[in-house]
Amino acid sequence: METLIKSNDQIYISWIKSILKAHNIEYFTFDEEMSITEGNITAIPIRILVNENELSKALQIIKNEEKLNSAEQNKR
């Protein structure tokens, strides 16, 4: 397993999970409960891990989705 992202942003984590689910990429979430328990301190980020052989695919999908979202926001 390889770390795909680390973040304390619950909305971003949720977005990443939905993208991975939509593309049938298996993932594991670590430290989510600890991050929520600690509150707003960023000492313990939430980590999303994927299989090593799907890491580059997941990164590319996220990059593409971020570009699409950015383009949609620029239209507004």
At 22-67, the pLDDT tens digits run 999 999 999 887 766 666 667 788 999 999 999 999 999 999 999 9
- Confidence grade of residue 69 (pLDDT, cut at 50, 70, 90): confident
Q: What is the pLDDT of residue 11?
A: 92
Q: What is the pLDDT of residue 27?
A: 97
* Eight-state DSSP code of residue 52: G
Residue 3 reports pLDDT greater than 70: yes
Range list of β-strands (E), the chain: 2-7, 27-30, 46-50
CATH of 2-75, one of 3.30.70.790, 3.40.640.10, 3.30.470.20, 3.40.50.300: 3.30.70.790
Q: What is the pLDDT of residue 24?
A: 97
Domain residue limits, the chain = 2-75
Ramachandran angles phi, psi of 36, nearest 5°: -70, -40
pTM score of the predicted model: 0.81
* Eight-state DSSP code of residue 63: H
